[in-house]
Structure 1
Amino acid sequence: MGPLEGIKVIDMTTVLMGPYATQMLGDYGADVLKVETLEGDVTRQIGPTRHPGMGPLFLNTNRSKRSIALDLKKSAGRDAVLRLIRSADVLIYNVRPQAMVRLQLGYDVVSKLNPRLIYAGVFGFGQDGPYAAKPAYDDLIQGGSGLAHLMAIGGDGTPRYVPNALVDRIVGTHAVGAILASLVHRERSGSGQRVDIPMLETMSSFVMGDHMGGLTYEPPLDKGGYARHLSPDRRPYKTADGYICVIVYNDKQWDNFIKATGRDDMRADPKFATFAGRAGNIDVVYAELARMMLERTTAEWTDLLNEADIPTLPMHDLESILTDPHLTATNFFSVVDHPTEGKIRSMRVSATWSDTPAKPERLAPLLSEHSDEILREAGFSADEIAALVKEGVTRTAPGGQD
C-alpha cells in the first residue's frame, strides 16, 4: 500500500504546484482528498480531451486522489471541510495565506480543531517580506529567480522561460520533503505545525546554488555564474545526421575519448589535458566537441562512445521518448484503462522501496466523483448530504453515484 499508508491529506490546491505534490503523496500511499470548487480545477480544461473536464494535464497530475466538490464561500461548505480536517494528518493549500484567513481556514483556526495537523502552504513568497501578498506564477518566478536571465546568456541573448512548469514541480517536490519532515517531527513530539514553502525563496536557492560563483564571497570575486552551464556549446550536439547528448567530464572519460577518436594532440594541449585546464577554457573545449560531432553519424557516435564508457544518451522528442529502450524495459510508460477516458498512458512512480512498494491505485477522478463517499466517511447522514446538494454546497457524482 505504499510507505504513507494511513496518512490522510486534505488537498486544497489547484493547477500544478500543489497537485503535483499531492499526487506524489498519493502515489506513496496517502489517502488524498482533493477539494475542488463546483467548477473543478482549471487544469481539467487544458489540452485535448475525450470528455470535458478530463484534460491530459489534469490526468497526469491528479491520480491517486479522491475528488470532492465544495463551495467554501458558503458556511456549510466551510463547515464540511472543517469536519474533514478533524481527522486529517495534512492540509495543503496553494492560495495566498490571506485568502485562507478570509475563508476562516487559517492556521490559528484549524490548529485548534486538530493540533496534530500539518498545515502546509505552497505559495509565492515568504510572509516576512514586501512581496508577501503578491500573486505568483511559474513564469514570474522563473524570471525573479534569475532563470530567464540564464537562458539568455546560454542562448541568443533573449531572456526566455524554460518550456516546462519547472518552478511548480520543483517547489512541489520541496513541499513533499517539508511535509514528510513535519510528519517525522509529529511522530516525535505529538504536535503538528504550520510549514510554508515559498516559490521565490525555493527557486532562488535552486538556481543560485549553481550560479553564486564569486558572489559567494564578500567582497565578490566575480559577477557569478557557472561557466560550464553557460557555455554556448553546452547543448545536444549536431551529428552528421541528427543530434546526440554527450558529456566528457572527468580525466578518465577524456582519456577514453582521446583514445577512441585518435586525438592524441589533445594530451599536449593545456586547454584539454587537465580538468582545471578544461574548466578554464570550457567554451573552447565544448566548441571543439561540437565540431568533432559533425564528423560521424549519431549511430556511429553512439557505438563509439558506449564502447569507450563515455556518458551519452539519445536526444528524444516528445514521441520518441515513449519508445526509449530503457524506459520500455522498466515499464515507465504503461497504457491503462481509465473508467471514463478509455486507454490512457500513465507514468510509473520513479522511486522504489524494498518493503513498501508504491503503486498508484487510482487514476485521476471525475469532478466530485467521491463527494458522497467522503462526506459519509466524515459522519454526514444521507439527509445532510442531500441538503448540501440542494443548497449548492456540493454536487452529486457524475451519473448520480460514486
Structure 2
Amino acid sequence: MKTTLSPGQQALQEQLEEFLDEELTPLVRRMADRSPHADTEDNPDIRAMIHQALTDLGLSAGLGRESWAIAAEQLGDVLYQGTLLDTAAAAELVSHTAAGGARDELLAAVAEGTRIALAARDTGTGTTADPAPLTVGPDGNTVTGSRSFVGFVPEADQLLVIGRAGGTVRAALVRPDAPGVTVRRHEELGRGELYAVGFDGAPVDTWLETDAGTTLAEAWRAVLDGARVRQAAYLVGLGQGALDLAVSYAKSRKQFGKPLGHQQVIALRLADLTARLDAVRLVVRAAAWEADRPAGAPRLEAAQALAMAAETARKIAAETMQVHGAYGMTEDSDAQLFYRRAAVESLRLGSPAELRSEVAPLLKDRLTGRGHSQPA
C-alpha cells in the first residue's frame, strides 16, 4: 500500500481542516448531544447545513474509499453526527444497481444533498452482514418489518431498508414519513439520534435491483465492507480527538505544582495510546487501499480494521475520562462526550465480538491458501 496522500486527497484533507476549524468544531461536537441540560432545538437545522456543506466539498457519490477514510477520520475527530456516512453507503449500493434513469436520478440527488439512513438490523435477529427479515406485500409495493438503531430518521429524506425476503436480500427506499412507518427514539448511552423504526405495509418508493450476474446480497456485502472501512476510520478519528483532549488536559492541569503530564505513569499511558492508535490508523488505511483496488475483496481487512478501531477508540475514550478525573464526568467536559460516542459508534456496524466471529473463518481460508475467496 502507498503511505502518502495523493494531491487530490491532500487537497480534500486541507479543505476539511479549513471547514472544521477551531470555531466550528465545538459546535459540531455538541450538535447531536441530547443531554437534558443541552439546548438542542436548532440541532437538526445545523446538521442539515453541515451535511450540505460537506457534500459541497465533495463527500458524496463517487469518492474513493481511501479518500473517504481520510475524510471519515476527520469527521470522527470532531464527533460528527449525521446521515453522511449512511448516505455514502446508500450511494454505493445504488451505483451497483441496474443502469438507467432511476439510478442516475438517485445518484444526482445524493450529490445535491439528499440524505439517506440505513435500516438493516433488527433487535436480536441477524447481524449487519446478515440483514433481518423483511416481508414484501402481495402487490410487491409495500414492506413490513422492524429495524433498530437507525440514525437520524426524522432528518432523512429516504430510508434504505435492507432485508431478507423469501431467502433473497432485497433493498427498498422508503420515506420516513410514509404511511405505515412508525419511529421511536432510543434512550441510549450516547444520548444521540438512534431510532427504532417499524414498517407495517409501508409503501416503497423504489426497489433497488442489480444487473444480471450480480445479486443484491453480493452488492450489499461489498457496500458493507466499504461502510466498515469508513466507520473504522471514523473511530480512529474519534480516538485521536479523545487522545488530543487528554494530552491537552495533562499539559494544563497541575497537581502538586506540576502538570499531570509530568507524572511518568500518565505520560507512559498516553505514549502507549499514541502508538496503538498510529498502528490502527495504518491498518485502516491498508484496508481502504485494498478496497480501492480493482480486484480488491476486503471483507477480511474491513472486519479486522473495524474490530481493532472499535476496541482502540473505546480504550482511549476510557483513559481520557480517567486522565480528566471527576471533571471528565461533568457536562462541561468533552471527555464524557467522547466516552459516550465511542460506546455507541463502536457497535454500529457490528460489535468487536461479531466481527471476530466473521474474521476467524476468513483468516483460516487466507492462511490455508484459499486467498480472497469470500462468499457473500
TM-score normalized with structure 2 length: 0.23
Which one has more relative contact order, counting CA pairs under 8 Å at least 6 apart? 1
Higher helix share: 2
Greater gyration radius:
1
TM-score normalized with structure 1 length: 0.22
